[in-house]
Amino acid sequence: MRLYKYAAIDIGSNAIRLLISNVIERKHHPTVFTKNAMIRVPIRLGQDTFSSGSIGMSNQQRMIDAIQSFKILMGIHDVSHYMACATSALREAKNGKQLIAKIFKETEVKIDLIEGKREAEIIALTDLYSVVKPHKSYLFVDVGGGSTELTVIHHGKTIASKSFKIGTVRLLNKMVQDQEWESYINWIAKHTQALDRISVVGSGGTINKVFKMSGRAIGKPLSFMDLTELYELLKKKSAKELLINLQLNPDRADVIVPAVHIYLLAMKQSGAIKIHVPKVGLADGMIKLLYKELH
C-alpha cells in the first residue's frame, strides 16, 4: 500500500478553500481518495472585482495571509504536492495577475488562473460518476460566486459545456445582465431538449448546505418540488433567522436564496425533476488531476 497527501487551493469569488486529501494506492484495487482536512476562509474577492474592477488592499493582504497559512498547514500535514487555482474574481480583476505575482513573491505558492471551461473540465474529474449512470443524461450545474458552469453528460460522455457570468456575488451586487440570463436559459434548452428524463447534478457549497438542511439521506436526490419548497421557505427567512435559526455563516446566508434560484432555473429549463448532490467541487477535481498528472 502507498499513501500520498495532496492539497488543492480553490480561490473562488465568495471564499477560498484548502482541501488536503489522502490518496491511497493498493495493489489490484482502485485508488482511494479521502478527505483529510478542509479549511474555508470567507474572503469575498468577487465583492471587489464585480463592483470596482480590482482587488482592494484589505483583501489583498487577507489573501496573502490566508495563502501563507495554507502553506504552513500543508507543511504540517506533510503534503507532497499541491495545486492552486483561481476562478472568475481574480481572472476578471484588473490587478489579478499582479496579486498572483505578489502572493508568489511572499509565499512561494504558485496560483493558476483558469477559464470557466477549464474549471468545468476539472470538476468533471471528481466522483461525479458515483451518481451518474452510463445510460442516462445529466445536466451538471456548478454555482459559484462569480460564475455558473454547465456541462451536459449523455451516456457517460460530455457533449457540451459552457461558463456563464451568473454567480451569487454578482447577483448580490445586481451585476448579472438580462442578456446573460437569456443566454443561460437558451443554452440549457438547446442542449437538453432532445434528451429524455434528464437529471441535474448540483455542485457548490450552497447546494451542499441546502441538501444537508433537507434531511435527505446521502445518495438520494432532491425532487424539483423539494427544492422549490426549500427555496420558498428560505425566501421568507430574515437575515437574523438564517444566521441564528438555520446556523448559516454570514457569507452563506446572503447568497443561499440566489444560488437555489440558479439551480431551480436549470431544472425548469431542462425539464429535470431530480437534482443529485454528490458533494464534490473544484478542489476535489484538482486532487484527481494532480494524481493523474503524477502517476
CB-based contacts of 129: which residues, under 8 Å, 6+ apart?
156
Q: What is the mean pLDDT of residues 237-253?
A: 88
Q: What is the mean pLDDT of residues 140-169?
A: 92
Q: Which residue has the cell 504552513?
A: 72
pLDDT band at 62 (very low <50, low <70, confident <90, very high): very high
Alpha-carbon separation of residue 175 from 142, 170, 205, 225 (angstroms): 19, 5, 21, 29
Say yes or no to pLDDT of 140 above 90: yes
Residues in the chain: 295
Residue 286, Cα to own-chain centre: how many angstroms? 12
pLDDT band at 227 (very low <50, low <70, confident <90, very high): very high
Q: What is the mean pLDDT of residues 174-183?
A: 95
Domains of the chain from N-terminus onward: 2-115+283-294 (3.30.420.40), 127-279 (3.30.420.150)
pLDDT of residue 117: 83
For the question of whether the overall pTM of this predicted structure is more than 0.75, the answer is yes
Selection from 1, 40, 47, 43 nearest residue 24 by Cα: 1
pLDDT of residue 236: 94
Q: What is the mean pLDDT of residues 179-207?
A: 94
Say yes or no to pLDDT of 188 above 70: yes
Say yes or no to pLDDT of 58 above 90: yes
Say yes or no to pLDDT of 129 above 70: no
Write the DSSP assignment of 51-105 as a string of letters.
HHSS--HHHHHHHHHHHHHHHHHHHHTT--EEEEEE-HHHHH-TTHHHHHHHHHH
pLDDT of residue 133: 81
Lowest mean pLDDT among 14-23, 116-125, 127-136, 272-281: 127-136
Write the DSSP assignment of 164-233 as a string of letters.
ES--HHHHHTT---HHHHHHHHHHHHHHHTT-TT-EEEEESHHHHHHHHHHTPPTTPPEEHHHHHHHHHH
Please report which helix (H) or strand (E) contains residue 294, including its range.
helix 282-294
Instruction: Please give the mean pLDDT across all residues of the chain.
Output: 93
pLDDT of residue 158: 87
pLDDT of residue 120: 80
Please report which helix (H) or strand (E) contains residue 33, including its range.
strand 32-41
Q: What is the mean pLDDT of residues 27-56?
A: 94
pLDDT of residue 128: 65
How many CB atoms lie under 10 A from the CB of residue 35? 12
Highest-scoring range by mean pLDDT, 57-66, 158-167, 198-207:
57-66
Which has more pLDDT, 279 or 78? Answer: 78
Half-sphere exposure of 123 (CA within 13 A, CB side): 33
Residues 45/93, Cβ–Cβ less than 8 Å: yes
pLDDT band at 285 (very low <50, low <70, confident <90, very high): very high
Alpha-carbon separation of residue 249 from 40, 205, 212, 232 (angstroms): 11, 12, 14, 20
What's phi and psi for 99, nearest 5 deg?
-65, -40
For the segment 259-272, what is each residue's pLDDT rounded down to a tens digit?
A: 999 999 999 999 99
Give the burial class of 29: count Cβ atoms within 10 A of its Cβ; 0-12 exposed, 13-18 middle, 19 or more buried.
exposed
- Maximum distance among all Cα pairs of the chain, rounded to whole angstroms: 54
The C-alpha atoms of residue 133 and residue 139 are separated, in whole angstroms, by: 13
pLDDT band at 225 (very low <50, low <70, confident <90, very high): very high
The C-alpha atoms of residue 183 and residue 164 are separated, in whole angstroms, by: 8
Selection from 116, 95, 102, 101 nearest residue 53 by Cα: 95
Q: What is the mean pLDDT of residues 209-223?
A: 90
Selection from 239, 215, 238, 237 nearest residue 226 by Cα: 215
pLDDT band at 127 (very low <50, low <70, confident <90, very high): low
Q: What is the mean pLDDT of residues 188-196?
A: 94
Q: What is the mean pLDDT of residues 181-197?
A: 95
